[in-house]
Structure 1
Amino acid sequence: MIVLGLTGSIGMGKSTTARMFAEAGVPVHDSDEAVHRLYAGEAAPLIDAAFPGTVMDGVVDRAELSRHVLGNAAALKKVEAIVHPLVRADANAFLERCRAAGAAIAVLDIPLLFETGGRGRVDKVVVVTAPADVQRERVLARPGMTAEKFEAILAKQVPDAEKRKLADYVVDTSRGLDAARAAVQAIIDDLTVGKP
């Protein structure tokens, strides 16, 4: 089974591309979705112990937690030390289920693949990209997003040009959904056609 890492900077269309893989029958593990689940389960008591008052009715209050970590690198590291190993364990269990089911390819959707040293966990990397002006327009259209927040997020991410250099495959989402879907299918074909 080939483990495909799917990544891309904010606003590049990674979630849409992940959906395209899923629609094509490829199992996809979404790290963000795993965090949401863990915040309502296993991670909640650990977060509450580290940041009292951030868990309401057994679920991490993301806005409250955000207030604790915003601009506080040490607090963010503490959250990551709790959450990242749980997400990784969740992804490993997903991969085991995929192997057992005989999947040819499985996708790990990891927003910060390069930033968190995740390259070694995958066989190939797909980077989702779009021109900077398209990215900016998409991100600033999100509710509650500001130019300052956007710049702060970008500052923490490996630059798009660098990601593209490190990629095995690139999907440009600025050319429309059909072109992106065709790129996804081409990747699937490249990894499976003629393979036993």
Structure 2
Amino acid sequence: MVRNKVGDNMLRIGLTGSIGCGKSSLSNILKKYNIPIIDADIKGREIYEDKELLKAIEDAFGNSVINKDGTLNRKNLGKIVFSDDDKLEKLNSLTHPVIRRMINEDLDEYEKRGEKMAVIDAALLLEAGFMSMLDTIIVVTCSEPVQLQRVILRDNCSEEDAMGRIKSQMPQEEKVKYAEFVVDNSGTLDQLAEEADELIRKLEEKIEK
């Protein structure tokens, strides 16, 4: 459930999409409109500088996940959590609240600056509990054959591996259920730019209501 935008408050927009659909391509286009973009993946890396979080991770998964210099041993942590769904869920329960807090701080700062809108770019937008922070959600989609081909080319992997990566995520049709705006990126970058132009027009209309 997204929040209810109040009065002249800044429009808080969530941008997501399945692997290979072109979420990042749309995000890059939106930057050209001087819209603030918060990259949740970058925030997801920055959080591991938080000493309290690192201590909580060490308590949960053992001292093998912390290097001698006090930094996170990502390789060891990955071995533990990516082979055990319960442990991955535990890690997410520790990290997602910290990411949400950092993103909220950025959103508040943009609002103080007088920005009309800001975008949270997050692959796991729906899965990580960001919805209550948002006024609207954009989902980028594409046809399944295009998605498969893009993943194979981008990740230099087999068709079987690409299908596995696609299947490990929430299906496109499920994500679309949460969207107010759906952008089809089955075509070229020029076509996506045209879609972005139309999307901006609709977002500006939403702000003016």
Q: Same fold by TM (over 0.5)?
A: yes
TM score, norm. by length of structure 1:
0.87
For the pair 1:120 / 2:132, whether they are aligned, the reply is: yes
Note closer, same or farther for the CA distance 1:23–1:62 as it changes in structure 2 (3 Å cut): farther
The answer on whether the counterparts of 2:148 and 2:163 sit within 8 Å (CA) in structure 1 is: no
TM score, norm. by length of structure 2:
0.82
Q: Alignment length, in residue pairs?
A: 196
2:117 to 105, 119, 141: 105
The answer on whether the counterparts of 1:40 and 1:58 sit within 8 Å (CA) in structure 2 is: no
| Aligned twin of 2:44 | 35
TM-superposed CA distance for 1:122, in Å, is 1.2
Identity across the alignment (%): 32
Moved more, 149-158 or 119-128: 149-158
Give the match's secondary structure for 1:25.
Answer: coil
Which runs of 5 or more residues in structure 1 are unaligned?
none
| Aligned twin of 2:14 | 5
Q: Distance in 2 between matches of 1:136 and 1:114?
A: 22
TM-superposed CA distance for 1:141, in Å, is 2.8
Q: Distance in 2 between matches of 1:49 and 1:125?
A: 36
The answer on whether the counterparts of 1:45 and 1:58 sit within 8 Å (CA) in structure 2 is: no
Which runs of 5 or more residues in structure 2 are unaligned?
1-9
Q: Distance in 2 between matches of 1:82 and 1:186?
A: 38
Q: Distance in 2 between matches of 1:112 and 1:143?
A: 19
Q: Distance in 2 between matches of 1:143 and 1:157?
A: 16
Which residue identity is paired with 2:14? G
Larger radius of gyration: 2
Give the match's secondary structure for 2:186.
Answer: helix
1:55 to 66, 70, 89: 66
Note closer, same or farther for the CA distance 1:60–1:20 as it changes in structure 2 (3 Å cut): farther
| Aligned twin of 1:24 | 33
The answer on whether the counterparts of 2:152 and 2:158 sit within 8 Å (CA) in structure 1 is: yes
